[in-house]
A and B are shown apart, each in its own frame.
Chain A
Amino acid sequence: MSQLSPFDLARDAGRHTHHFHGGLKLRHNKRISCQTPVERPPLPDILVVPLLQQAGDIARPLVEAGDLVLKGQQIGHCQNCVAVHAPTSGTVEAVEDRLMTHASGMTGLCVIIRPDGKDQWTRLEPLDHIADISPARLARQLQECGLAGLGGAVFPTHAKTLDGHQRQVHTLILNGAECEPYISCDEMLMREQPGKIILGARILRRALGAERVVIAIEDQMGAVHQALAYAADCAECTQITVVKVTTIYPEGGERQLIKVLTGLEVPLGGRPSDLGLVCQNVATAAAVAEAVSEGKPLIERYITVTGNGISRPRNLLALIGTPFYHLVDACGGYTGNVARLVVGGPMMGYPVSSDATPVVKAVNCILALTDKDIAAPQAEMPCIRCGECSRACPATLLPQQLHLQVNNGLWDEAEEYGLLACIECGCCDFVCPSHIPLVSWFRHGKDMLRQRADEAQATTLARQRFEAREVRLLRKKQARAEKMAKRKQMLQQKTATAQQTGKSAKGPEDA
C-alpha cells in the first residue's frame, strides 16, 4: 500500500482550502487606513536605530558618535543574525541605551542619527541574473541587507532560507493574509507593489530550491487579487498561485494558514519545513526583491498608522528608526484623548508607554485607541469553565485547564496539555466572560517551561560530563590493569621459558 507522506501531500498546498479549529470573526476596521496611497513622510529630525531588531543576537555597532554615515551604510554587524543599516545620511549623535520597541519595555543599544537632509545613498551592490546565482550567495546577500521577516516574528530571512534549502522544501507560502483588525500595510503593499512581491517570490523560490509558490490573501481583498494575478502573468512566473482564504482570525498565523492551505498540521514541536513548506510574509518578499535586484538594504517599511486616535489614518513608507510621534504628525496628529498606543493589532499587539518609541523591522502598525475603543477595564472573575476559550482556540487547547495548571505551577500537566503549542493569538482572552488575562498567564507559563527545560538540559549535561569522566577514569584504570596483566603474562612466559632452560627461578613479582 503506497500512502503519501504529509511531506508529499503538502505539495498540493492551495489547491483546496480547509478550515482550522476555533478562531474568531472580528470587525476588521481596515478600510479607514486604505483610502489614500502610501507616501513617505518627511525626514524626521532624529532617527533611533536599535541594534537588536530581530529574534537572536544583537548586532555589534560599526560606528561611533561623530561619524558621518550614508544612507544604506552598514552600522551594525552580526555574525549569526542580520546587519543593521543607516536609514538616511547624517551624523551619528550617540550609540547608547534607549527604550526599545519591545513588549517588555526594555532598553538596548541604539544608534542615534541626526539626518543631514541630503538623503545621500552609499554605493549599493545588486545581484544580476538571479537564475545563475547560487542559493548560498543569495542567502548572504539577504543577510548583508538586513532581511528579517516583516510579519512580526522577524526571524532572519537568510537563516530560514538556508534551512529550507537544506531540508529540500518544495513550496514557498507567501503570507498576505493579514488577519488582525486595523492593519492594512500588507494589503496596500500588495496593491501598490505586486511586481516586487512576485520578483521576491521568484528569488526566494530560487534560494530555497522550491518548486511552487502559493500566495495567500484574504477573500475580501478584491483589488489585491487582480494586481497580483496581473504581476504573476509572466514567463518566469509559472507555478505561482494566488489563493484567497476566508477571513477569520487568526488565519494569518503560520500554522493556521498551513492548515487552511493543505489540510495538514505542522507536527507539535516541529516546523513547517517538516511538511516541505516555508512561510514568508509578502512584505519580506518585496524587501528581498529590493535587496537582490537593487542591493537595497532593509531601511524602510510599510506601516499602518490608524485608530480613532489618529486624525487621518493611513499607511506610510517609514524609515526604520523614525519615532512614532513623527509618523503620527504626518497623519495629522492625534484626535481627542488617546487612551492607549499599541504596536501591532488589537489582538496580539502590545502597548507602549511613549510615542518616542522608534520604528523597527517588526512594526507593522501603530494603533492609537481612544477610551471608546477599549472597554473600561472589567473586574477579573473566576473561571466559570464555560468553554468559550477552548471553542475559540486555534491550537485546540483547553485554555481553562492551562490557566489552572499555570496558576498552580503544575508544569508537567501544563506541558502535557500543550502549553507550548499556544500561539498567543489572544482568541481565548477575547471571548472569556470572566475577563481573565489568559495569554499573559500563558506567556509566563511558557517562559517557565523553557526555563525548566534549560535547567533539565544543564543537569543532563553535567551528569553526562560526570559520567563521561567516570567512564574515562574507568577506562584508564582498565587500560592500566590490562597493561599490567599483559606485562605479567609476558614475564611469566619469560620466566617459564627461563625455567625450562633452567637459567632462572625468579618469580615475576620480584622482577
Chain B
Amino acid sequence: MRSFQTSNAPHMPQQISVAKVMLQVLLALVPGILAYTWYFGPGILVQILLATVFALLIEALFLRMRGRPLKPFIDDYSAVVTAVLFALCVPPLAPWWISLVGMLFAIGFAKHLYGGLGQNVFNPAMVGYVVVLISFPQAMTAWLPPVTLAEHSIGILDSLQVIFTGQVPIAGSWDAITQATPLDTLKTGIDSGRMISEIRQSPLFGDFGGLGWEWIANWFALGGIFLLYKRVISWQVPAAIIGSVILLSLPLWLADPDSSPFPLQHVFSGALVLAAFFIATDPVSGCVSPRGRLVFGAGVAVITLVIRRWGGYPDGVAFAVLLMNMAAPLIDRYTRPRIYGEKPDGRDKKNE
C-alpha cells in the first residue's frame, strides 16, 4: 500500500505559459524592428533598450510597493512587450526621458494602479504613448527621414548622443536631420488645400504609404501572420481593422480622390498595421468573444479614420485603441457567444 500526493487536473504537462505567449509576440516583432533599423537607422534599437530597462525597473518598483513577488511577474515578459510597442511609436531620436515618462505611465499607472497584469482597462503602451505625445509634442514630432533621403547619416554613436544629451552632432540643427512624417505631410498638405496627387510627389511617399514605412508595415504584418498561425492572436481584430479601413475609405476616395487618400495608403500609413496585429490585439484591454473582437476592430478603424481626417493629430490609432478599450466591457456584454444548447435568441432565456 502506498500513499500519494493529490493535486488538481489536468494531469498532463501544459505547453503554454504567459511568458511563452509574450516571447512569441516579441519574436514576431523582430522582422519589423530590423526593417525599421534598415530604413531609419539604429536610433530605434536604443529606444527599445531604454524603454525595456525603464519598464523592468518600474515594474519591479511597483511590484515591491504592492507587496507582490517579483519572480513570476518580472519574467513573464509582459512589461518588455509594452516597452517595445511603446518604443516603436516614439521618434527614434526622442530624448531618453521620454521613455522614462512613458513607461512610468504605462507600467506604473495604466498597469499597476489598475491592479497589475490582466487588470488594466487601457492598453499600457498606448497610455504611455499618448501621455508623452500630449505632454511633449515637440519631442514627439521630431521624426527622421528614411536613410536613403537623409542628408546626414546618423550612426549609433550619433543616436546615443542625441538621445542622451540632446546635442545634434551635425553643424546644422534639429531641422537639418528631422523631417515630418508622411502622414504629417499629408495632413498639412490637405489642410492647406493641396491635392493628394500633388502631395504624393514628395519623395517621402512610396507606392502606398510612406517610403520605408510601408515596408516596415509589411514586415510587421508578416510577424502578425506568424502570431495568427501560432494562434497567439485571433484573426478577428486585424481583419476587422484592416477590412474596415479599406471599406470605409473606399467610398470617400471614390467620391473625392483629391483630398481623401486611397484605401491602401491608409492601411500602410502610420502605425495601422502595427496596431492591427500587435496593439489592438492586446487581450487584456480588448474584447473576449469573437464577435466582440470584430466590433472592437471595426471601432478602432472608424475612430482612426475620423481622427486622421478631422482630428488634430495626423495618426489616431493610439486614441482609437484607448477609446475602444473603454467600450470593450460594454461590447462584451452584448456579444456573448451562444451557449451550447441555448436558444438562438439567448437573451430571452430568463423570460421563458
Contacts and interface: CB of A to CB of B under 8 A. Distances in A.
A269 B21 CA distance: 36
A437 B11 contact: no
A451 to B, nearest CB: 20
B9 A396 contact: no
Contacts of A20: 340
Contact of B18 (A265, A347, A434): A434
A430 B6 contact: no
A439 B16 CA distance: 17
B230 to A, nearest CB: 12
A384 B339 contact: no
Contacts of A476: none
B85 to A, nearest CB: 15
Contacts of B72: 379, 381
Nearest to A386: B283
A358 B59 CA distance: 51
**Among B2, B16, B72, B78, residue most surrounded by chain A Cβ atoms (within 10 Å):** B2
Contacts of A495: none
A349 B6 contact: no
Contacts of B173: none
Given A325-B2, A356-B1, A433-B16, A377 B10 contact: no
Main secondary structure of the interface of B (DSSP, over half): loop
Interface string A352-364: 1111100000000
A469 B348 CA distance: 34
Given A375-B13, A433-B17, A401 B288 contact: yes
A21 B290 CA distance: 13
Chain A contact-residue range equals 35 or more
Interface residues of B, number: 46
Contact of A354 (B4, B78, B339, B341): B4
B201 interface: no
B14 A378 contact: yes
Contacts of A396: 337-340
Contacts of B339: 268, 395-397, 417-418, 421
B341 A255 contact: yes
Interface string B1-35: 11111111111111011101100000000000000
Contacts of A391: 231, 234
Contact of A385 (B2, B118, B342, B343): B118
A385 B6 contact: no
A352 B21 contact: no
Contacts of B9: 342, 346-350, 426, 429, 439
A76 interface: no
B7 A340 contact: yes
A373 B17 contact: no
Contacts of A401: 288, 332, 336
A21 B340 contact: yes
Contacts of B117: 381-382, 384
B141 interface: no
Closest 5 CB pairs of A and B: A382-B118, A375-B13, A418-B339, A351-B6, A346-B11
14 contacts: A265-B341, A267-B341, A325-B2, A334-B2, A339-B5, A340-B6, A349-B9, A367-B11, A375-B13, A382-B117, A387-B288, A398-B289, A421-B340, A437-B8
